[in-house]
A and B are shown apart, each in its own frame.
Chain A
Amino acid sequence: MRPEEAFRTLSGDFYTRSLQPGPTEDTLILNMGPQHPSTHGVLRIVLELDGEYIVRAEPVLGYIHRMHEKMGEVKTFAQYLPNMGRVDYLHALAWNWAYVGAVEKLCGIEVSERAEYIRVITAEMNRISSHFVWWGAYLLDLGAFTPIMYAFDDREWLLDLLQIVTGSRLTYCYFRFGGVSDDVTPEFVEGTFRWCERMRSRLPMYKALVTDNIILRKRCEEIGPIDLDMARRYGATGPVLRGSGVAYDVRRAEPYSVYDRFHFEIPVGKAGGDAMDRYLVRMAEMEQSLNIIEQALRRLPPGPVMHEKAPKRLKAPKGEAYFAVEGARGKIGVHLVSDGGKNPYRVKLRAPGFSNLSLFSELAKGVLLADAVSILGSLDLVIPEIDR
């Protein structure tokens, strides 16, 4: 290697060099990540800074890319199921559901009534556990250490309950084509009722402890406002979109499973919602999920957890199907194409975090570096889901 080439390597890489020089020369290129604690995993952001203000921000992805879509083409339909728990480790059951739902739609498989209710219960519990991790980690980013201890304490109960039925604590692979793998136990039903009761007293405590805290409010209010035009241009969904005042929730807009049988509200923020609105939406969503869980538990119908007509050996017809569910971060979509073979011909995974993060570049222009950390946290990023 010639000396000037070595120097080129030292002075940056493909991504920093591709950031074209800006209008002034008085700026600094800074790499935030891929090992920065507030980038939650391995997200890297190349920043151009003028003092402490961000002139340009460019996320660099792919550090935890595992080629899930290629794996879909070399595994059979059933063998691909465990992958779904690993795309988004925080809301694994929503990804389970999106994929299983797409296969069921493609093959015309019916789901047993009891399994539909169990899916709703477990997926909503998983949504709350995902919001717990977001809550604790977001406050860690903002400098508050204690809340994550409370969040993980409550989450531990939840994981114990989910472990009874799914057998695992994080990367669930519980849903099957036509139902779920195992029935709920009386212990699970009883424990979940008691846990819901406990949460009803914990959520007000969270509010008193954290949400009303003046330091949190100063770090979140009027930070990173997203208007409707921006949200739609980037295809933002989930709490990021609802924080801006749009009551768009796949559970209501494109009802799947038995969600149309439950009463629940869709919490929204105000037009031009800031980081605080997104925070409040997620906190309110936890309460709504509790409502859904309790309704579903009370009405849990008897019967088998697998539909009696569910195929023992899956034979997928030619064709394609798109199935979307509401994940903790927004709209999860699976586009499945089959050529009639034993493997999917093509699987496309729509990750909500991918679209939500894509608006960061525009949102971070002109803000303080410290506020960018607050914005990133308010988007609730799970990098394995974005990189897939």
Chain B
Amino acid sequence: MHFDWVDRLDAERKTDTDYGKTGSYREVFLRTDQLEAAAQSAWDEGYFLEDVSVVDVQEGFLVVYHFDSWERPGRVTFKVLVPHDNPRVPTISGIHSGAAWHERESFDFFGVIFEGHPDLKPLLLPEDLGFHPLVKKPEDRAPLQGLAAVAGDSKEAKEAKEAEAVKAP
């Protein structure tokens, strides 16, 4: 298909994902400093932001961005992992204006701070709530491995898969 621009992105890791299983064609694992450039490429290629989601895992907060296009439909997912003790991600609301609300919502639910956001105040929750309701207890957090396809093509994942295949029979 038409994902050359994704292949050209400066990223930590890229994965071809199975649309039939995940609903996404490409997954791009980015560092926080690579996010803005990637979001800009998505805009230049005619993509729009569907939503911003956060998944709380053992390693930190996984911030997930879904992009899709009008002319060349096919979902592309960006993922950024930030630590629990310093959850800071640059905002992309300067490029995709709609991100401003999605980021405020993520700030509400998880306390992820979007640096450079024009007005990062509560959106859906009361301004004096004082906690972030979707943050999980440390003992309830699952490891990222296997949960999200980000690490799908890493060495460890392959080894784990092989080990499982050996055990299966």
Binding site for B on A (CB under 8 A): 14-15, 18, 61-62, 65, 67, 69-70, 73, 102, 105-106, 108, 230, 232-236, 241, 246, 248, 253-254, 318-324, 331, 333, 335, 337-339, 345-346, 348, 350, 354-355, 358-359, 362, 387-388
Contact = CB atoms under 8 A, between A and B. Distances in A.
A105 B21 contact: yes
The secondary structure that dominates the A interface is mixed
Contacts of B126: 62
A319 B70 CA distance: 27
A65 B68 CA distance: 27
A348 B53 contact: yes
B66 interface: yes
B20 interface: yes
Contact of B98 (A62, A70, A235, A318): A235
Nearest to B142: A339
A111 to B, nearest CB: 14
A65 B124 contact: yes
Contacts of B49: 235
A67 B98 contact: no
B73 interface: yes
Contacts of A230: 97
A21 B119 CA distance: 15
Nearest to A58: B119
Contacts of A362: 97
A323 B23 contact: yes
* Closest A-B pairs by Cβ, 8 of them: A322-B23, A348-B53, A234-B98, A339-B142, A253-B73, A233-B97, A235-B98, A350-B51
Interface in B66-85: 66, 68, 70, 73, 75, 77
Given A62-B124, A254-B73, A355-B98, A320 B51 contact: no
A387 B124 contact: yes
Contacts of B124: 61-62, 65, 387-388
A18 B75 contact: no
Interface string B1-44: 00000000000000000001111100000000000000000010
Nearest to B108: A62
A105 B20 contact: yes
A70 B133 contact: yes
Interface of B: 20-24, 43, 46, 48-51, 53, 55-56, 64, 66, 68, 70, 73, 75, 77, 96-98, 100-101, 109, 119, 121-128, 133-134, 142, 146-149
Contacts of A355: 51, 98, 101
A345 B55 contact: yes
Contacts of B122: 62
Nearest to B73: A253
B142 A345 contact: yes
A358 B75 contact: no
Nearest to B136: A73
A318 B21 contact: no
B66 A335 contact: yes
A337 B55 contact: yes
Contacts of A320: 22, 147-149
A234 B133 CA distance: 26
A288 B142 CA distance: 45
Contact of A235 (B46, B48, B121): B48
A235 to B, nearest CB: 4
A266 to B, nearest CB: 12
B75 to A, nearest CB: 6
